[in-house]
Amino acid sequence: MLLSIKNIHASINGKEILKGIDLEVNEGEVHAIMGPNGTGKSTLASVIAGRELFTVTRGEITYKGKNLLTLPVEERAREGIFLGFQYPVEIPGVSTTNFMRTAINEIRKYKGLDPMPAVEFLKMMEEKKQLVEIQTNLTNRSVNEGFSGGEKKKNEIFQMAMLDPTLAILDETDSGLDIDALRIVANGVNNLRRKDNAFLVITHYQRLLDYIVPDFVHVLFEGKIVKSGGKELAMELEEKGYDWLKNEN
């Protein structure tokens, strides 16, 4: 098993957001986490990635058999966890190319590898760009600076392709995207799907799941997973709305 979450409780400023989450993810699987706004979807993503803003008060997370909660953010990233941000940060003065080179070489250093030769790096970048249909000029520009919402999300997918994570968490990557951008983002994910990696796709709408077909769908409500099922659960939610679950609970 790649990721095992057991009874996770997490809070921010003393306020409990996650109230006992259990989730298991195996290699080769795509899990979708759905749910209304403010129910803890992004918090779950942040807690897995290791954001210090949130305090885990109870429970455990094991990743590749290791206790994930003791690792700092960067080590989780180097172990193959990637978080696609809902609101990617702008970094003026640092090009995406060099940002990625820095990241890749730090990850390689962690793994005891030499820095990637420039030629190899550039070749890889070209391949990945094609894979995610990102224009060259975006990578030469400062990270996300002045990017449109769609460009920022594409840049997240490009970074994911470059870092080739074992577990990728996409936090509402579909929000604010038009249908073309949505398709590009989804294609990027589909092209990266393999037997040895896994995706956790967080979304508010079923729309994205037309393009990225999940193996499992979980519904998060008031800090708990209240329903899990196959891809048909997403359809059902689309049809009945979240009120259906609220009424059930």
Partner 1 sequence: MKEMQTDINEIISHEGMIGLFEENRGHLFQHDTEYLSRLRNTAIAKFSELGFPTPKLEEWKNTDLKASLSKKYGYSLKPSPVKDPRKVFHCNIPHLDTALIAQLNGWYISKDVPLMELGNGIILGSLAEAFLKYPSIIEKYYGHFADVSSDGLTALNTAFAQDGIFIYVPDHVSSPKAIQIVNVIHHPENIFLQPRNLIILGKNSKLSLVHCDDSYNHQAGFANTVTEVFIGENAHLDHFKLQNLNNDSTLISSAWFNLEKEATLKSHYITFNGGLLRNNIRVLFNARGGNADIRGLYLMDRKQHVDNHVFVDHAQPECTSYEHFKGILDENASAVFNGHVLVRKNAQKTNSYQGNKNILLTDTAKVNSKPFLEIYADDVKCSHGSATGQLDPEAMFYLRQRGISEENARMLLLYAFANEVVNTIGIDPLRYRIEDMVKKRLQGELQICEQCVLHCNTPEQPVEFDIDLSKL
Q: By CB under 8 A, name the one of 11, 62, 105, 175 that touches partner 1.
A: 105
Q: By CB under 8 A, name the one of 110, 120, 136, 178 that touches partner 1.
A: 110
Total residues contacting partner 1 by CB under 8 A comes to: 34
Q: Does 64 bind partner 1 (CB under 8 A)?
A: no
Q: Does 106 bind partner 1 (CB under 8 A)?
A: yes
Q: How far apart are CA 153 and CA 144, in angstroms?
A: 9
Q: Does 177 bind partner 1 (CB under 8 A)?
A: no
- For 163, residues 6+ apart whose C-beta sits below 8 A from its C-beta are 77, 82, 100, 103, 104, 107
44-81 burial, b if ≥16 CB within 10 A, otherwise e? bbbbbbbeeebebeebebbbeeeebbebeeeebbbbbb
Q: Which stretch binds partner 1 (CB under 8 A): 58-66, 103-111, 191-199, 217-225?
A: 103-111
Q: Does 159 bind partner 1 (CB under 8 A)?
A: yes
Binding mask 131-150 toward partner 1 (x if CB under 8 A, else -) reads -----------x--------
Q: Does 103 bind partner 1 (CB under 8 A)?
A: yes
Q: By CB under 8 A, name the one of 8, 83, 177, 198 that touches partner 1.
A: 83
Would you say 200 and 31 are in contact if contact means Cβ atoms under 8 Å apart?
Answer: yes
- List beta partners, residue 32: 201, 217
Q: Phi, psi (5° rounding) for residue 95?
A: -75, 155
Q: How far apart are CA 120 and CA 21, in angstroms?
A: 42
Smallest distance from the beta carbon of 83 to partner 1, in angstroms?
5
Smallest distance from the beta carbon of 141 to partner 1, in angstroms?
13
Q: Is 195 left (phi over 0), alpha (psi -120 to 50) or beta?
A: alpha
Smallest distance from the beta carbon of 27 to partner 1, in angstroms?
20
Q: Which stretch binds partner 1 (CB under 8 A): 20-28, 56-64, 66-74, 202-210?
A: 66-74
Q: Does 151 bind partner 1 (CB under 8 A)?
A: no
Question: What residue ranges bind partner 1 (CB under 8 A)?
Answer: 49-53, 72-74, 77-78, 82-83, 85, 88-89, 91-95, 98-107, 110, 142, 159, 163
